[in-house]
C-alpha cells in the first residue's frame, strides 16, 4: 500500500489527532525520500511540546538517520522560508514541515507557493499540523490521522497502526484506511481488517502541476 | 590629568602637555604632583575603557594590514611587510597613518623598523624614524637603555655598569650579558638590533588568503558593494584554484570611512571555490544580520579573507551524478547554516551508550568529523522499541496502581489527561552509567493506551530496592 510514497513534487497536509498520529507524516516522508536526504523542519517550540526528534526512533521505524537532517527554527515564519529554500534543491528527497497551530504566515498564499515550488523541483513536502484546524490550502492530499490499537491478539504490541482519513484529494477519491507500518520492509500494509479501499493516493504518472488551478 | 592606583598609592597615570610643562611627569606620586601644582584636575584611570579604545584603533588599523598586534597599554604594532607600496612607500605610509590617527584627536608617535621591538623602541623614543633595512643596530644605538623595556632590576644593573644607551649595551659581548642578565635579555637585545626576528602576536586569526579593494570615494550602494564582493571572491577563487584549495571559512570586512569596521564570517561544510556561491552566502549572511550593515558615509575598503583554506579532494571535477547531488545538498546545508545559524541545521550522530537520551546527538550538519554506526538493537521483525520523539526532560506522571506487582500502571495522568493502559511491554531495565551523577536505575515500559496511543514510561529506581516511593515518568512518544 502506498508503495513508493505519494506523488512526487506535491504538497500534502497531515492533521494528526492525538500524540502519536504525527508519526504517519514522518513515515510518509520516510517512504518518499528513499536514499535522498530528508529534511525535518520544526520551530523550537515543537520540540518542547512534542519532544525532540530521536534518531534512534527513526532508525527503529526503518529509516536511515544518516539521511535525516533537522532544521530548528525560531518561529513558524523561519520554518516556512527554510522549507521554500530546501524545496528549490531537486536533490532533496522529501521535506517534513512541522508547524503547530494556525500561524498567520501559513495561509493559502504560502501553501500555494510551497505547492508550486514542489512542483518545479519535484521534491515532495509534507506539512504536519498538530493542533491545527483544517483550512483551505493548495495541498494535493489532506489527511486526518489517529493512532489505532495494535492489531495483535495478545497483550504484546505490534507495529504502529494508523486510522487515516483522506479528506481531500485533488485527483482522486477519498476514503478511510487503516494502515499498519512495517518497519522491516519500510512500507505500509493494510491492516488485516478486510474492508480497505484501494488507495487512490499514488498515481505513477507525473502531471505538470501547473495545469491545475487552486 | 589622570591618576592610577598601584601598590596602594596613587600615581600619575597620564597627563597632558600643559601639566608636563609644569614639571609633572608620568609615574610621579600623586601627592607630590599636588604639592607642586594647585589646582589640579584629576580623574581616575579607566583601564578597561583604554583597552577598548586601543582595540577600536587597532580595528581601524586593520585597513592597512591584516596583521595588527596590540602592544598594551598604549601601543599598536602593524606588520606592513609588502603593504607599504600600496600607500606610496614607507615614509608616506607612516605619515599617513600617524596623521590620520592624530586627526582623530590622539597623540601619536610612530616609527618603522625591521623588527617589532626596534620599531617599538623608535616609536617611543625617536618617533618618525624609519630604520633602513638591516640598519636597526645603528638606528637604535643612541636610544637610552629604558627603550629596552626590561624590568627595573636589569636597568639598575646596566646603569651600575655605566651603560647608558642601547648602543653601549650592544657593544658588550653577548656571552657576558647573558651570564649576568639572563638569556631572555640577550634575545631581546638581538631582536631589538634586528639580528633576530620575533613574530608578532596577531590580535585576529591571520587569513590563509586575502583580497581587498580600496575605494577613493567611499561606496554606499548595495550594488557596488555586491559587485566588489564578487570581484574579490573571483580573485580569491583564482588563487584557490591555483593552489588546489577551497575556503572553509570566509570573512568579509567592511571598513567605514569613519573608522568603524563590520565583519561577517561564513563557514562551509566543503572547501568552496565558486565565487558565485561565495557571493550568495555572503549576501545571505548580510541579509540575515540582526543589525543591518550600515555604510554610514561609505566604506573605503572591503576585504575578503579566507580564514581557513583546505585542499580540495583530488579529481575535483567529477561527472558522477551522485557526487553532484551530494555536493548540491552540501551547498544547500551551507546556505541554510548561514541563514539560520550553523547550530540550527543539524544531522544526527550515533553515540555508543545505552542511555536513551544520549544515543543519538544532533550536531551541526556542516561538521564532518563525527561518525558513528547506527545499529538496530532489536530483531528485524520486532515492532519498534524506541520512541520517535523524546521529551527534552522526562515528565513526571501520576501513575495508578500497577497491573502486576512490578508492572506498568493501569492508568496514568500526563498533562492533565488520563490514559488507560491496554497493552504494555517491559520492564526493560536500563542502569545509568555509574559516572553519571547519582541517577537511579530505570525500568522502562512501552505502553499502549485504549485508543492506541503509545508512550515510553519508566519507573525510577529498582522495584522495592533503590526507590522509596516510586516515581513514574513519561519520556518518549512513539510513532
Q: Which residues of B touch A31 (CB under 8 A)?
A: none
Alpha-carbon dihedral B106, B110, B116, B119, rounded to 10 degrees: -150
Mean pLDDT of A97-105: 94
Rounded to the nearest angstrom, the gap between the alpha carbon of residue A150 and the centroid of all alpha carbons in its chain is: 21
| Domain CATH for B265 | 3.30.1490.100
- CB-CB under 8 Å, B345 with A69: yes
Reply yes or no on whether the pLDDT at A117 is more than 70.
yes
Does B55 share its domain with B34? no
Q: What average pLDDT does the segment A76-97 reach?
A: 95
Q: Do B376 and A60 touch (CB under 8 A)?
A: yes
Residue of A57, A73, A90 lying closest to B344 (CB–CB): A73
- In this prediction, residues A101-126 reach a mean pLDDT of 95
B455 compared with B438, residue with greater pLDDT? B455
Lowest mean pLDDT among A38-42, A81-85, B248-252: B248-252
Nearby residues of A191 by Cβ (< 8 Å), 6 or more positions away:
A148, A151, A161, A178, A179, A180
Task: State which H helix or E strand residue A13 sits in.
Answer: strand A11-17
Select from B258, B281, B316 the last residue of a domain: B316
* pLDDT given at position A111: 95
* pLDDT at A204 exceeding the cut of 80: no
Same structural domain, B268 and B311: yes
Comparing A127 with B171, which gets the higher pLDDT? A127
Residue A213 has pLDDT above 80, yes or no: no
Instruction: Tell whether B429 and B467 lie within a shared domain.
Output: yes
* Residue A209 confidence class, pLDDT cut points 50, 70, 90: very low
* Cα within 13 Å of Cα(B273), Cβ side: 18
pLDDT greater than 50 at residue A167: yes
Q: Which of B329, B365, B452 sits opposite A89 (nearest CB)?
A: B329
Yes or no, beta carbons of A147 and B454 under 8 Å apart: yes
Q: Residue B32: give the domain boundaries.
A: 2-45
For residue B430, what are the contacts with CB-CB under 8 A and spacing of at least 6? B354, B355, B356, B441, B442, B443, B444, B458
Q: Do the beta carbons of residue A142 and residue A126 sit within 8 Å?
A: no
Same domain (yes/no): B67, B178 = yes
- In this prediction, residue B465 carries a pLDDT of 57
Are residues B158 and B247 part of one domain?
no
Query: How close B312 comes to chain A (CA, Å)?
Result: 22
Q: Say if residue B187 is in the same domain as residue B59.
A: yes
Range with lowest mean pLDDT among A23-27, A159-163, B327-331: B327-331
Beta bridge partners of B375: none
* Residue % of chain B over a pLDDT of 90: 19
Given this model, what pLDDT does residue B200 score?
Answer: 79
- Contact list in A for residue B348 (CB cut-off 8 A) is 53, 55, 58, 65-66, 68, 70
Residues B267 and B311 reside in one and the same domain = yes
Contact A158 B360 (CB under 8 A): no
Query: Is pLDDT above 50 for A208?
Result: no
Is residue B11, in this structure, part of any structural domain at all?
yes
* Within-domain flag for B438: yes
DSSP B175-187: HHHHHHH-HHHHH
- Which range, A196-200, B55-59, B115-119, B391-395, is most confident? B391-395
Helix (H) or strand (E) holding A86: helix A76-87
Domain boundaries, chain A: 11-211
A chain contacts of residue B359, beta-carbon cutoff 8 Å? 55-56
Residue B431: inside a domain, yes or no?
yes
Q: How far is CA A135 from CA A46, A75, A142, in A?
A: 21, 20, 10
Q: Are B64 and B158 within one domain?
A: yes
Closest by CA position to B57, among listed B46, B44, B45, B69: B69
Instruction: Show Cβ contacts of residue A154 under 8 Å, excluding neighbours closer than 6 positions.
Output: none
Per-residue pLDDT, averaged over B34-42, amounts to 79
With a threshold of 0.90, tell me whether the complex ipTM lies above it: no
Contact with chain B for residue A122, Cβ under 8 A = no
Mean pLDDT across chain A = 86
Question: How close, in Å, is residue A120 to chain B by CA atoms?
Answer: 17
Instruction: Inspect the interface and report whether the beta carbons of A24 and B455 lie closer than 8 Å.
Output: no
Determine, for residues B340 and A78 on separate chains, whether the beta-carbon distance falls below 8 Å. yes
State whether A147 and B451 contact (CB < 8 Å): yes
Shared-domain flag, residues B62 and B174: yes
Please answer yes or no on whether B339 and A82 come within 8 Å at the CB atom: yes
Q: Please indicate whether residue A139 or residue B162 has the higher confidence score (pLDDT).
A: A139
Whether residues B479 and A64 touch (CB distance < 8 A) is answered with no
Nearest beta carbon to residue A37 from set B329, B392, B424: B329
Round to whole Å and give the CA distance between A54 and A68. Answer: 11
Say if residue B131 is in the same domain as residue B183: yes
A155: contact with B, CB 8 A cutoff: yes
Q: How many domains does chain B have?
A: 4
Q: Which of A86, A152, A156 sits opposite B332 (nearest CB)?
A: A86
Tell me if chain B has a CB within 8 Å of the CB of A77: no
Contacts of B326 in chain A (CB under 8 A): 91
**Per-residue pLDDT, A191:** 59
Q: Which helix (H) or strand (E) holds B251?
A: strand B245-256
pLDDT digits (tens, 9 = 90+) for B165-202: 888 888 887 888 888 888 888 888 888 888 777 777 77
Residues B303 and B426 placed together within one structural domain of the fold: no
Measured in angstroms, the CA of A133 and the nearest CA of chain B are apart by: 21
- CATH topology for A11-211? Rossmann fold (3.40.50)
Phi, psi angles (nearest 5°) of residue B472: -115, 145
Q: How confident is the model at residue B5 (pLDDT cuts 50, 70, 90)?
A: low
The string of pLDDT tens digits covering residues B126-149 is 888 888 888 888 888 888 888 887
Greater confidence (A168 vs B469) lies with: A168
Interface test with B, best of A57, A122, A183 (most B CBs within 10 A): A57
Q: Contact A150/B340, CB-based, under 8 Å? A: no
Same domain, B130 and B153: yes
Among residues of chain A, what percentage have pLDDT more than 90?
70
Residue of A50, A85, A157 lying closest to B425 (CB–CB): A157
- A to B CB pairs, distance under 8 Å: 175
CA distance linking residue B204 with residue B61, whole number of Å: 12
Amino acid at each position: 500500500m502506498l508503495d513508493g510514497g505519494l506523488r512526487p513534487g506535491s504538497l500534502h497536509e497531515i492533521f494528526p489527532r492525538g500524540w502519536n498520529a504525527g508519526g504517519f507524516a514522518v513515515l510518509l516522508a520516510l517512504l518518499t525520500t528513499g536514499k535522498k536526504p530528508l529534511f525535518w523542519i520544526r520551530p523550537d517550540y515543537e520540540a518542547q511540546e512534542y519532544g525532540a526528534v530521536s534518531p534512534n526512533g527513526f532508525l527503529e521505524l526503518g529509516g536511515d538517520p544518516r539521511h535525516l537532517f533537522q532544521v530548528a527554527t525560531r518561529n513558524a515564519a523561519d520554518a516556512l522560508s527554510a522549507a521554500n529554500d530546501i524545496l528549490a534543491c531537486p536533490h532533496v528527497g522529501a521535506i517534513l514541515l512541522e508547524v503547530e497551530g494556525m500561524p498567520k504566515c501559513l495561509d493559502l498564499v504560502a501553501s500555494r507557493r510551497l505547492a508550486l515550488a514542489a512542483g518545479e523541483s519535484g521534491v515532495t513536502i509534507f506539512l504536519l499540523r498538530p493542533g491545527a484546524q483544517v483550512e483551505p490550502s493548495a495541498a494535493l492530499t489532506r489527511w486526518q490521522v489517529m493512532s489505532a490499537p495494535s492489531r495483535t491478539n495478545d497483550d504484546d504490541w505490534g507495529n504502529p497502526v494508523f486510522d487515516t482519513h483522506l479528506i481531500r484529494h485533488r485527483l482522486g477519491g477519498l476514503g478511510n484506511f487503516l494502515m499498519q507500518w512495517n518497519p522491516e520492509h519500510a512500507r505500509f500494509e493494510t491492516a488485516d481488517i478486510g474492508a480497505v479501499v484501494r488507495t487512490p493516493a499514488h498515481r505513477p504518472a507525473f502531471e505538470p502541476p501547473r495545469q491545475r488551478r487552486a | 590629568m589622570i591618576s592610577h592606583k598601584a601598590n596602594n598609592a596613587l600615581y600619575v597615570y597620564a597627563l597632558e602637555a600643559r601639566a608636563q610643562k609644569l614639571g609633572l611627569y608620568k609615574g610621579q606620586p600623586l601627592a607630590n604632583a599636588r604639592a607642586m601644582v594647585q589646582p589640579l584636575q584629576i580623574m581616575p584611570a579607566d583601564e578597561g575603557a583604554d583597552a577598548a579604545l586601543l582595540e577600536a584603533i587597532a580595528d581601524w588599523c586593520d585597513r592597512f594590514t591584516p596583521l595588527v598586534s596590540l602592544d598594551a597599554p598604549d601601543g599598536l604594532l602593524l606588520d606592513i611587510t609588502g603593504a607599504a607600496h600600496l600607500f606610496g612607500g614607507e615614509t608616506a605610509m607612516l605619515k599617513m597613518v600617524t596623521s590620520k590617527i592624530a586627526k582623530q584627536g590622539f597623540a601619536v608617535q610612530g616609527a618603522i623598523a625591521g623588527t617589532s621591538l626596534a620599531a617599538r623602541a623608535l616609536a617611543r623614543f625617536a618617533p618618525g624614524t624609519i630604520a633602513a633595512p638591516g640598519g636597526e643596530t645603528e638606528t637604535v644605538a643612541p636610544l637610552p637603555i629604558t627603550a629596552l623595556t626590561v624590568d627595573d632590576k636589569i636597568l639598575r644593573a646596566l646603569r651600575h655598569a655605566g651603560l647608558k644607551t642601547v648602543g653601549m649595551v650592544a657593544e658588550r659581548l653577548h656571552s657576558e650579558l647573558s651570564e649576568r642578565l639572563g638569556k631572555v635579555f640577550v634575545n631581546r637585545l638581538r631582536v631589538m638590533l634586528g639580528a633576530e626576528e620575533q613574530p608578532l602576536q596577531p590580535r585576529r586569526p591571520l587569513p590563509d588568503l586575502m583580497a581587498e579593494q580600496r575605494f577613493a570615494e567611499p561606496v554606499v550602494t548595495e550594488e557596488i558593494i555586491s559587485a566588489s564582493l564578487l570581484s574579490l571572491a573571483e580573485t580569491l577563487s583564482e588563487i584557490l584554484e591555483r593552489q588546489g584549495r577551497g575556503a572553509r571559512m570566509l570573512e568579509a570586512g567592511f571598513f567605514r570611512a569613519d573608522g568603524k569596521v563590520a565583519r561577517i564570517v561564513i563557514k562551509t561544510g566543503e572547501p568552496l571555490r565558486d565565487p558565485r556561491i561565495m557571493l550568495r552566502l555572503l549576501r545571505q549572511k548580510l541579509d540575515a544580520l540582526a543589525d543591518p550593515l550600515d555604510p554610514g558615509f561609505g566604506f573605503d575598503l572591503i576585504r575578503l579573507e579566507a580564514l581557513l583554506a583546505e585542499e580540495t579532494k583530488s579529481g575535483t571535477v567529477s561527472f558522477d551524478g551522485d557526487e553532484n547531488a551530494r555536493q548540491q545538498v552540501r551547498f544547500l546545508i551551507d546556505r541554510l547554516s548561514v541563514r539560520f545559524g550553523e547550530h540550527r541545521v543539524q544531522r544526527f550522530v550515533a553515540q555508543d551508550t545505552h542511555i536513551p537520551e544520549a544515543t543519538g546527538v544532533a550536531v551541526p550538519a556542516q561538521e564532518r568529523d563525527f561518525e558513528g554506526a547506527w545499529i538496530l538493537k532489536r530483531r528485524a521483525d520486532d515492532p519498534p522499541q524506541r520512541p520517535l520523539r523524546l521529551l527534552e526532560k522526562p515528565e513526571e506522571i501520576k501513575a495508578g496502581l500497577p497491573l502486576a506487582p512490578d508492572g506498568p500502571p493501569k492508568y496514568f495522568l500526563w498533562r492533565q489527561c488520563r490514559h488507560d493502559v491496554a497493552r504494555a511491554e517491559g520492564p526493560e531495565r536500563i542502569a545509568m552509567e555509574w559516572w553519571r551523577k547519582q541517577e537511579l536505575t530505570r525500568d522502562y515500559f512501552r505502553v499502549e493506551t485504549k485508543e492506541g496511543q503509545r508512550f515510553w514510561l519508566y519507573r525510577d529506581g529498582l522495584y522495592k530496592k533503590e526507590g522509596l516511593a516510586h516515581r513514574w515518568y513519561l519520556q518518549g512518544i512513539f510513532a
